[in-house]
Amino acid sequence: MSSPDPYQSQWPLINEAGFAERLPGHRMDQLWSEGWRHFGPRFFRYSLMWHEQDWKRVFVLRMKVQEWKPSKSQRRTLRRNEDVDVSLAPVNPGEEERALFERHKVRFKENVPSRLEEFLGDDPRQMPCECLQVSVRKEGRLIAASFLDIGDHACSSIYGIFEPEERNRRLGIFTIIKELEEAQRRGLTYYYAGYATHEPSPYDYKKELKPLQSWSWSGDWQEFDSQSG
């Protein structure tokens, strides 16, 4: 692995981590607003990532919940999934979710995760904050699930999984829509969509969400322009 190129010293170099088993909602709001994410009790934020044999510049994305409304393509995704059943409940993944995760992860060619617990922790019901599970079923069979942290005034999408053979349904986008609908129902201010990169990556789909802001790594949020991203 080569040393990271700081892009003519114009891109900040940040790589921080921490640990917390339980935090109140207002503290989660604050951490999300400063670019932090978590998998289980492990918190982290970083401004560069190594992917496809190159360093890529990372930014954090969030949406203004109450300004969001489904786009034309998102409405098509909703229509495409009118035949499924959707439920939201406190997170409680079991064997069905783990089996779906094993099928889902074959999509990845590098940085392949080994267990769903890498993202949710060993007991997501207890740490570090309230967490919901979106479950999507077709004729009773689980075909997608996503996991959403809830704070006092914001929420953060942790991870989503879906059945590869059902990829034409755009289930990753579909569960994001359902998370946003729940955020609106709760009157939340921000929906944190996770990381993306300036350079092309598997996370490019997040750049099409609107209205979108990105974290500058210098202490402020900016309106995101997908053309420059």
Q: Could you tell me which residues come within 8 angstroms of residue 95 by beta carbon, excluding any fewer than 6 positions away?
A: none
| Pair type for strands 141-150 and 130-138 | antiparallel
Contact criterion met (CB below 8 Å) for 28 and 53: no
Sketch out the chain's domains with CATH numbers.
15-223 (3.40.630.30)
Question: What is each CA distance from 126 to 27, 118, 135, in whole angstroms?
Answer: 16, 15, 19
Range list of H helices, 34-170: 72-80, 95-104, 117-120
The verdict on pTM exceeding 0.85 is yes
Residue bearing tokens 């053979």: 165
Report the alpha-carbon distance of residue 144 to residue 142 in Å, rounded. Answer: 6
Phi, psi of 177, rounded to the nearest 5 degrees: -60, -45
Q: Could you tell me which residues come within 8 angstroms of residue 91 by beta carbon, excluding any fewer than 6 positions away?
A: 120, 124, 125, 131, 132, 133, 147
SS3 81: coil
Contact criterion met (CB below 8 Å) for 191 and 62: yes
pLDDT tens-place values along the chain, 229 residues long? 444 454 435 788 999 999 999 999 999 999 999 999 999 899 999 999 887 788 899 989 999 999 999 999 999 999 999 999 999 999 999 999 999 999 988 776 666 677 888 888 888 887 799 999 999 999 999 999 999 999 999 999 999 999 999 989 999 999 999 999 999 999 999 999 999 998 888 888 888 899 999 998 888 899 987 545 4
SS3 76: helix
